Structure 1
Amino acid sequence: MSTRTASGGDDPLIESRDQLVAPMAAGEKPSENWRIGTEHEKLVYCTKDHHAPSYDEPCGIRAILMALTEFGWEPIEEGGKVIAMKGADGTVSLEPAGQLELSGAPLENLHDTCCETSRHLEQVKAIGQRCGVGFLGLGMWPDKTREELPIMPKGRYDIMLRHMPRVGNLGLDMMLRTCTIQVNLDYSSESDMVKKFRVGLALQPLATALFANSPFTEGKPNGYLSYRSHIWSDTDPARTGMLPFVFEDGFGYERYVDYMLDVPMYFVFRDGKYIDAAGQSFRDFLKGELPALPGELPTEGDWQDHLSTAFPEVRLKSFLEMRGADGGPWDRICALPAFWVGLLYDDTALNAAWDLVKDWSMDEREALRNAVPKLALSAPLPGGGKLADIAGQVLDIASAGLTARNRLNSSGDNETGFLVPLREIVEKGRVPAQNLLDKYHGEWGGDLSRIYEAKSF
């Protein structure tokens, strides 16, 4: 989640609707300036007993963050507490229960993305080896109850933790127990954004299936392959989901602004503190009628904050965020941006992907999204068959898109090699969660503690 570093009180006041549209319009870039921003989270545990470390304990989350200064990272504080580290490779931040996230820098190609990921993992593993701390690549804690998990000292999390049970049954699980990989991508124009948004939403269930990696809850199989994805279906319906309006005629920046104005607020940030505005209306804020700040008008910074509080399957800010994948190991951290860059960063590939999904009805898209958490590649496909039936074709389109980009490393390799882990999943017809369940029921003999050795970075 976003890390705020300055008060919004000094930003320009919002005085026109143009300022609400501006962040999206400002994201337009010529294709030669398109970048790739990859984010990935890891579960942090103490190797001695597998407990999740608190913020302040010896070798806890604060100590891990501060140890990154050895590698040139600089601390970001909130209320006197270190909540993130900034550096050349982006930002390392703590999620609500201490999950550690790298929000990577915007990079030109996937070779750079994978090098960035490798640097980060080498750094945290070096720290972890000294501290007796490990890092687990899964979509969800396999064995922890909510009560066993610590809470990190970040103001927006206090507000969200209070608000989540009011609007859904699984929002606390989303905050405390899940991990994801996502990629942030650019667009050249409003029409380019629209097509990418539509393809991203329609094919997000395929990404969820390929990366499904959360089949356990509190030490036992939970009946899902991506329980993390299921959690989002009962988190907060006002700010999640497949966004049917994106597929309607006339969709663009203005319509997304209307959607965001209808998304209830969480907070306002003033003087280094988060003010609880959960459930209140940004439309009222624009009229100076926000109960949390009566008489005050919002700033551009307040709007930027609010844009970060919606969690649909694809999110628009000044770039598009692909949000459907479970956390996983190093090669899948590299594979997710390869999947989406291949589909969305080449016009021929983008058109081919759109041709594949454009005739699906909204009901069919919703049904596919709802089936995937349990069934993954076996989910029923619109028009008949299973999701697995188009998985190879989509990977072929992505591979062709990456080939056309022709971004080569020093050995002369293009970016298609980063799709290999996904090719293997499709060829074997087994998603990561199914392999974990095979281990659990087979050689692990129901001993889920074995997952720490098997799936740590």
Structure 2
Amino acid sequence: MSNPGQSNSAPIENRDQLVETLARGCKPRAEWKIGTEHEKFGFVLPSRADGREPLSPPPYEPQGISALLHALKGPDWAPIHDGEHLIGLKGEGAQGGRSISLEPAGQFELSGAPVQTLQETQAEMQEHFDLIRGPASELGLGFSPLGFQPLWTREAMPWMPKSRYGIMRNYMPKVGSLGLDMMARTCTVQVNLDFGDEADMARKMRVSLALQPLATALFANSPFIDGKANGYMSNRARIWTDTDNQRAGQPPIFFEQGFGFEQYIDWVLDVPMYFVARDGRNIDVSGCSFRRWLAGEAQPGLEGLTPTIGDFEDHLTTVFPDVRLKQFLEMRGADAGKPELMVAQSALWVGLLYDPATLLEAEKLVQEQPWEAYTQLRAQVPQFGMNAPFPGGLKALAKRVIALAEQGLRARVRNEAHYLDPLHLIAEGGPNQAEYWLALYEGAWGGNVKPIFTESAV
């Protein structure tokens, strides 16, 4: 979850203000950008353990995540605090537009700057890995982008001193059995993309939401839990099936004709709240209704508080559909993975969604099946990956979708189509990342999952 932003204290007086909050994202095509966010697990380097448990997740302190943030802090990275704790960095100068934030168990996240090309996306990602590698090594730490923590139990994971995570940690067990695993043991990569107007947003939402399960299968990279294989290609995706289904998944309303900003707002208003921010602190209002708050109904923790645009913007960050709408669209279906696969994820969606002719063809493709086919696919891909049942075969669908993405990238005339090469191999029957690791686990590693940390380190 992102670092806290600047809150808009304007009171909400009418529904049009909420629509305008989303509509501010509308941009002419010439201004569409690519923003990539990726997370990774920290681990103690076996050669630098110094009395610590080798491969264990680093704590906030000592000699852990806090020390790394302090080491990175400087002219280009301004500190972000939650109370007295350093919990992130905001890029300035040469790093402008980027930020570094912490997931609940210290998963390290880069939120990239909006850029024009996939070449810039790749360069930004490599620059980030280069930036943290030296300071992390000095602390005896490494980082691996994997979809799910392959070795350590939930109880073994540290918790970061970020106040909203304390609220979520208490609330999650009330609404699903796997929410704490989502917080502490998952990592994702997502690409954030722009839209031209409300109708363009709705078309992109329907296409990308339908195809998120395919992305989950292509980028599956989490076949291990508690040190062993458990029969799933993506444990991260499995976790999301029972985290908090009221705020996650593929809400049916998103697929309906007529879907737009108001329909999204209606859905968001009925998702229970987590917190409101006042005077530099987060107030626990978990389970309260934003809609009832707007209506002036009394609810515990909200007494005397007036809902603001900033409150609504904060609430938008606490809903987790597979494609999330803010002032851009977030593609949220993929496991974190090898750098070339994480760039390929951005390439897939840029190719499908940013060329109007390709988007039209993609829309026709997904409409060949009822929406229920894609919701059923979402339930199957965590276990079966590219072998999940789908009319005509999932690999056949993948080939068609990737071909369209390649068409869309070639239309951009920026020499970007080669970023899809890893996906062509998977669609043709090659192993996805999960299958690659499982082959090593069952072969050269002799049933020992520990080598995955150093083998996948960036």
TM-score bucket (shorter structure) = over 0.9
What is the aligned partner in structure 1 of residue 89 from structure 2?
A: 85
Aligned partners of 1:283, 1:144: CA distance in 2, in Å? 40
Q: Does 1:230 align with 2:238?
A: yes
Say whether the 8 Å CA contact 1:5–1:76 is kept in structure 2: no
Using structure 1 for the length normalisation, give the TM-score.
0.96
After alignment, is 369-378 or 150-159 more displaced? 369-378
Map 1:337-352; keep pairs closer than 5 Å. Answer: 337-352=346-361
SS where residue 428 of structure 1 aligns?
coil
1:69 aligns with 2:73: yes
Q: Whole-Å Cα distance in 1 between the matches of residues 372 and 412 of structure 2?
A: 34
User: How far apart are 1:249 and its partner, in Å?
Assistant: 2.0
The 5-angstrom pairing of residues 249-260 of structure 1 reads 249-260=257-268
Partner of residue 403, structure 1: 410
Tell me, in whole angstroms, the C-alpha distance in 2 between the residues paired with 1:258 and 1:452: 43
Deviation per residue, 1:253-272 (Å, 9 max, x gap): 11001000110000001111
Contact map agreement 1:71 1:123 (CA 8 A) in 2: no
Aligned partners of 2:309, 2:74: CA distance in 1, in Å? 35
Give CA deviations for 1:267-291 in whole Å, capped at 9, x if unaligned. 0011111100111000121133332
Q: Are 1:129 and 2:137 counterparts?
A: yes
Runs of 4+ with deviation above 6 angstroms: none
Checking the alignment, whether the CA contact within 8 Å between 1:287 and 1:297 is kept in structure 2 is no
Contact 1:233 1:241 in 2 (8 A): yes
Per the alignment, residue 311 of structure 2 pairs with 302
Percent identical residues: 50
The one-letter amino acid paired with 1:264 is P
**TM-score between both structures, scaled by the size of structure 2:** 0.95
Larger CA deviation: 126-135 vs 179-188: 126-135
Letter matched to residue 132 of structure 1: G
Which secondary structure does the structure 2 equivalent of 1:213 belong to? coil
User: Secondary structure of 2:212's match?
Assistant: helix
CA distances 1:387-433 after superposition (whole Å, capped 9, x unpaired): 111111111110110110112xxxxxx11121112122222332110
- Which deviates the most, 419-428 or 388-397? 419-428
Tell whether the 8 Å contact from 1:314 to 1:320 is kept in structure 2 after alignment. Answer: yes
Relative to structure 1, is the Cα distance of residues 70 and 299 closer, same or farther in structure 2, using a 3 angstrom cutoff?
closer
Question: How many angstroms apart in 1 are the aligned matches of 2:211 and 2:373?
Answer: 12
Q: What is the DSSP-based 3-state SS (H/G/I as helix, E as strand, rest coil) of the residue aligned with 1:37? A: strand
Aligned with residue 290 of structure 1, among 296, 299, 321: 299
| Partner residue in 1 for 2:42 | 44
Distance 2:19 2:246 in 1: 20
1:12 is paired with a residue whose SS is coil
For residue 100 of structure 2, give the secondary structure of its aligned residue in structure 1.
Answer: strand
Q: Is the 8 A contact 2:192 2:330 kept in 1?
A: yes
Q: How much does 1:340 deviate?
A: 0.2
Structure 1 residues 341-350 or 327-336, which shifts more?
327-336
Deviations 1:353-381 (A, max 9, x none): 11111132232121111111111111111
Match of 1:314 in 2: 323
Give the AA of the match of 2:60: Y
User: Is 1:187 the equivalent of 2:195?
Assistant: yes
2:377–2:388 contact (8 Å) kept in structure 1:
yes
- 1:87-124 CA deviation, whole Å, 9 max, x = no partner? 12510011100000001111111111111101101011
Matched-pair contact (CA < 8 Å) for 2:228–2:448: no
SS of structure 2 residue aligned to 1:120? helix
Q: Gaps (5+ residues) in structure 2?
A: none
**C-alpha distance after superposition, 1:114-145 (max 9, x if no partner):** 11101101011121222211001210100110
Task: Name which of 362, 370, 378 aligns with 1:353.
Answer: 362
For the residues of structure 2 that align with 1:389 and 1:359, how far apart are their CA atoms? 13
Q: Does 1:393 align with 2:400?
A: yes
Q: Which moved more, 1:359-368 or 1:393-402?
A: 359-368
Deviations along 1:45-78, one digit per CA (max 9) or x if unpaired, are: 11131111111112x0011111112572111111
Letter in 1 for 2:79: P
1:216 aligns with 2:224: yes
CA contact (8 A) 1:290 1:296 kept: no
- Distance, in Å, in 1 between the alignment partners of 2:371 and 2:427 is 26
Structure 2 match to 1:12: 10
Structure 1: 5+ residue stretches without partners: 408-413
Q: Which residue of 2 aligns with 1:368?
A: 377
User: In structure 1, how many angstroms separate the alpha carbons of the residues matched to 2:19 and 2:299?
Assistant: 21
Letter paired with 2:395: A
Would the aligned equivalents of 2:149 and 2:185 in 1 still touch at CA under 8 Å?
Answer: yes
Rounded Cα–Cα distance in structure 2 between residues aligned with 1:269 and 1:229: 30
Q: Which amino acid aligns with 1:399?
A: E
| 2:147 equivalent in structure 1 | 139
Does the Cα contact within 8 Å between 2:395 and 2:428 map onto a contact in 1? Answer: no
